[in-house]
Amino acid sequence: MIRGIFRLIGLLLLAGGFIFLVYDGARSIADQTLRLTKLGEFWNDIHQASQQAVRTQIEASAPWMWDLVKLVLNQPAFAVLAVAGILLLLLFRPRRPLIGYSRD
């Protein structure tokens, strides 16, 4: 059951990555220049105060970790969402059935 929930989250993240890819592509075609939405910009658009709260918590507990989080936040949103979705789908894929053996 838990595996199914994580696979559903993975599919939703992959769909979100595809939506951002189409959105950035349409913006790039309209502006005739490459326009990519960064994950940090998207997070700021949704709820800026939560990003600041997460930053203060991370810097209080492990200051070196904020550099890694900042690196992820500066990547295109479609790439981060797609990679996270693919990883969840691969990690929680169903087991292959055993051929010729029975499970007890």
Encode pLDDT of 42-77 as tens digits. 999 999 899 999 999 999 999 899 999 999 999 999
- How much is the pLDDT for 57? 94
Question: pLDDT band at 86, cuts 50/70/90?
Answer: very high
Integer Cα distance of 78 and 23 in angstroms: 9
- Secondary structure (3-state) at 62: coil
Cα angle 85, 91, 96 (rounded to 5 degrees) comes to 125
Beta strand extents in 9-98 (DSSP E only): none
Integer Cα distance of 91 and 52 in angstroms: 31
Percent of all residues in the chain with a pLDDT value above 70, rounded to a whole number: 96
The two counts, helices (H) then strands (E), for the chain are 5, 0
Amino acid letter, residue 101: Y
